Amino acid sequence: MSEAAAARIPEVLRATSISLAAIALALAASAVLILLAGADPLVAYWALLQGAVGDGFALGNTLARTTPLIFTGLAVAFAFRCNLLNIGAEGQLYAGALASVVIGIYLTGLPAVLHIALAIAGGFMAGAAWGGVAGYLRSARGINEIISTIMLNFVAIFFVSYLVHGPLAEPPGFFHQTAMVAESARLPVLYAKSDLSIAIFIAVGFALVTAYVLWRTPFGLKLRAVGESTGTARFAGVPVNRYVFGAMSVSGGLAGLAGTTEMIGGQYRLLDFFSPGYGFDGIAVAFLGRSDPIGVVFAAFLFAALRVGANQMQRTTGLPTSLILVIQGMVILFILGVAVLEWHRRRRRG
Amino acid sequence: MEMFFGLLDPDYFAATIRLATPLLFATLGGILNERAGIINIGLEGTMLMAALTGVFGAWFIGSPWLGFACGVVAGALVAWIHAFVSISLGANQIVSGTAINLLGLGLSSFLIRIVFGLKEQQRVVPHFDLVSLPLLADLPLLGPVLFHQHALVYVAFLLVPVLWVILYRTRWGLMITAAGEHPHAASSVGIDPLRVRYACTVLSGALAGAGGAFLSLGQLHFFQDEMVAGRGFIALAALIFGRWNPVGGMIACLIFGAADALQFRGQAVGLAIPHQFMLMFPYVLTLAILIVVGGKSQGPAAIGIPYRRN
């Protein structure tokens, strides 16, 4: 292990313990809600755990749901390393899904490897283009990316809705959905019952690549320099605007892959409003993972496990699955609280 | 031309004003906290919690007005969380707003099922009816558009000049602007930016709460999951569109309300624009305005930046 990596260990340990403490606090606070609802928190949490990782089917479901969250989490984390807040992962996801589905349906007769590669490249580029719009507006026009990405989300989501209701609707057009992507564009399935494909490996692979780019390449170093201090980076000769544009584009591309893997890794066709908010969850996932690509993988798994386990919890105890959103919201608030308090404490100690 | 005249109908204008009202409440709230330097993307979740609390209040107390008051208080309390996390703790305001949205979405959906039960989630509660102002409502054209509305519609539109005067003509307005533009300078002349930001954020939550409670008690008459349907985000668009000015915000809300009303109207009169483009309209228009105006007038200088006492 290199010295630089070794030096990061205490930092990683501290970040991990903060995240774990916040999760414990959120579960404890939610237990009060469960009691008020007249259920037993221990029974509920046990059902949640069983439903999430209790058997192969549950674990398969959880891993399938982890995949898009890794991508959107990576997207937000990557931009955040450049001090950019990409609230637009949801829209970029739709852009990526759209491109991949179009490639998957209309480019036929290709060998599977090539077809899949094209669908992935197309999804990345479409997401990158959509994120790049926000990056361009920020670097060339000085428009805050938080504001532009909120707007771009809705534009992408409604545009996809328009397409599946009209131009891209599967003939004869009774249903508001596209046709299915060709067999050759589908990712190999790992576990058919739970829609788990090799997309999960692609996602983890991208997390490793993202970590490498951020920590080990000049591009990543300069990108983080811009994120730490724009003024200093500019003084050191980093073309800040180009890095802002680049970071938003790559971030958008990663979010686009969340759409791609949903399309070619299990859903196979595009419906409007198909994403249950993976892009917005990406903000929470990136934050829980402390904007570290490896942390993002674990955070994505946790969020997916909560969502999947919630169904079992509902069946066993009758508690609404929406409790999971409450837990997720509280995890973030507690991390904000714990992290900031700890920062103050350290500062006081000097 | 025929289609165009089909829209020149008192009902259409009345619907525009009615649909603009909840947006206007939230937009005025957003203007208040953004001018003080706090960005709150949690307006959506705040409105949802207020819509729910309004329904509970109206049902258990039996009065839509008291229900509405409950919604306003709930909005203020939710915003208080945002204020505590982003002002007292100085944490990232976007992340805090995201958490509030998750919390609002989850908690409202959870509580409606627990309190009203699965089968009676959409229980209709005591709600607001349209009020016809005597004599005025009988005016041709203007009567049905302006004077046959919910009482809260007048409240929302009256708040526009009130907030304008506060922001531009009073000492409070100066303090708010100072806290949002240059908190350190404000602090050096004896203004406490933290307190100003707190007050604005909590009040803003109350206003967003009014918008949420109006949606449930004035329009839907019951609570439904995700019933705010992006209006918290449209309010953010409207306040940027209106350049952080209450009058500009009102104009934006009316334009967006008109687009919203067109969705229903357009189908009736055979308008050829797909409804998705109507839904997209507020966002595209705001983006276009941003691009034209550029970063020159980006709103308060210190927005989103936590302030810490030295």
Q: Which chain B residues have a beta carbon less than 8 Å from that of A280?
A: 98, 101-102
Contact call for A336 and B107, based on CB within 8 A:
no
For residue B132, is it within any domain? no
A121-152 in b/e form (b: 16+ CB < 10 A) is: bbbbbbbbbbbbbbbbbbbeeebbbbbbbbbb
* Domain ranges across chain A: 11-349
Does residue B306 sit within a domain? no
Q: Which of A40, A144, A141, A124 is nearest to B299 (CA)?
A: A144
Residues 6+ apart with CB under 8 A from A164: A176, A177, A178, A270, A271, A272
Residues of chain A found within 8 Å of residue B296, distances taken between Cβ atoms: 142
The pLDDT score that the predictor gives to residue B278 is 84
Residue B158, CB-side half-sphere exposure with 13 Å CA sphere: 5
The partner residues of A189 in beta bridges, in order of sequence, read A197
> Phi/psi of residue A186, each to 5°?
-90, 140
Do you know the residue count of chain A? 350
Cβ distance of B106 and A87 shorter than 8 Å = no
Interacting residues of A350 by C-beta distance below 8 A, sequence separation 6+: none
A69-108 residues touching B, CB cutoff 8 A:
85, 87
Domain count, chain B: 1
Among candidates A161, A162, A322 on the partner chain, residue whose Cβ is nearest the Cβ of B106 = A322
What integer pLDDT is reported at residue B294 of this predicted model?
67
**Interchain CB distance below 8 Å, B291 and A154:** no
For residue B221, being part of any structural domain is answered with yes
**Nearest-angstrom CA–CA distance, A68 and A89:** 11
- What's the domain range around B66? 2-123+142-295
What pLDDT does residue A317 have? 94
Mean pLDDT, residues A33-52:
95
Q: What is the mean pLDDT of the segment spanning A258-264? A: 97
Determine contact, residues A62/A308, Cβ cutoff 8 Å. yes
Looking up residue B221, the CATH number of its domain turns out to be 1.10.3470
The partner residues of A191 in beta bridges, in order of sequence, read A196
Mean pLDDT, residues A331-347 taken together: 80
Cβ-Cβ contacts under 8 Å, A161 against chain B: 276, 279
Confidence of residue A349 (pLDDT cuts 50, 70, 90): low
A283, A287, A325 ranked by CB distance to B105: nearest: A325
Q: What is the pLDDT of residue B1?
A: 47
Closest approach of B289 to chain A, Cα-based (Å): 11
Question: Given this model, what pLDDT does residue A2 score?
Answer: 61
- Long-range (24+ apart) CB contacts under 8 A made by B128-133 are B128/B64, B128/B68, B128/B152, B128/B214, B128/B217, B128/B218
Residues of A in contact with B291 (CB under 8 A): 137, 141, 143
Give the N- to C-terminal CA distance of chain A in Å, as an integer: 30
Cis ω before A172 (30° cut-off from 0): yes
Chain A residues close to B106, C-beta within 8 Å? 322-329
What is the structure's pLDDT at B149?
86
**Rounded Cα–Cα distance for residues A227 and A86 (Å):** 13
H/E element, A196 = strand A196-197
The DSSP secondary-structure symbol of A188 reads: P
Q: Does A173 touch chain B (CB under 8 A)?
A: no
Tens-digit pLDDT profile for chain B (310 aa)?
455 555 667 888 888 999 999 999 999 999 999 999 999 999 999 999 999 999 999 999 999 999 999 999 999 999 999 999 999 988 889 899 999 999 999 999 999 999 998 888 889 999 998 888 887 877 777 777 788 888 999 999 999 999 999 999 999 999 999 999 999 999 998 899 999 999 999 999 999 999 999 999 999 999 999 999 899 999 998 998 898 999 999 999 999 998 888 877 766 666 677 888 888 888 998 898 888 876 655 678 888 888 877 5
Q: Rounded mean pLDDT of A247-269?
A: 97
Q: Which two tokens stand for residue B97?
A: 């707003």
Distance CA A68, CA A96 (A): 12
* Dist. CA A284–CA A302, nearest whole Å: 11
Give the Cα separation of A336 and B92 in Å (integer): 8
Q: What is the pLDDT of residues A296-313, one digit of tens each?
A: 999 999 999 999 999 999
Q: Which residues on chain A are in Cβ contact (under 8 Å) with B119? A: none
pLDDT at A68 over 90: yes
Indicate if the pLDDT at residue A230 is higher than 90: no
The reply to whether residue A333 touches residue B103, judged by beta carbons under 8 angstroms, is yes
Specify the amino acid at residue B206: A
**Nearest residue in B to A139, CA atom:** B295
Question: Does residue B115 lie within any of the structural domains?
Answer: yes
Instruction: Evaluate if residue A186 carries a pLDDT over 70.
Output: yes
A148-164 pLDDT per residue, tens: 999 999 999 999 999 99
Residue B265: inside a domain: yes
A11-349: CATH architecture:
Orthogonal Bundle (1.10)
Which residues contact residue B188 at a Cβ distance below 8 angstroms, ignoring those fewer than 6 apart? none
Q: What's A76's DSSP letter?
A: H
A interface test, pick of B95, B256, B281, B291 with most A CB neighbours within 10 Å:
B95
Q: Are A115 and A107 in contact (CB under 8 A)?
A: yes
CB-nearest partner of A154 from B81, B280, B294: B280
Find the Cα–Cα–Cα–Cα dihedral A213, A218, A220, A225, rounded to 10°: 160
* CB spacing of B99 vs A330 below 8 angstroms: yes
Are B107 and A141 a contacting pair at CB < 8 A? no
Domain membership flag for residue B304: no
Which range among A221-230, A233-242, B130-139 shows the weakest confidence by mean pLDDT? B130-139
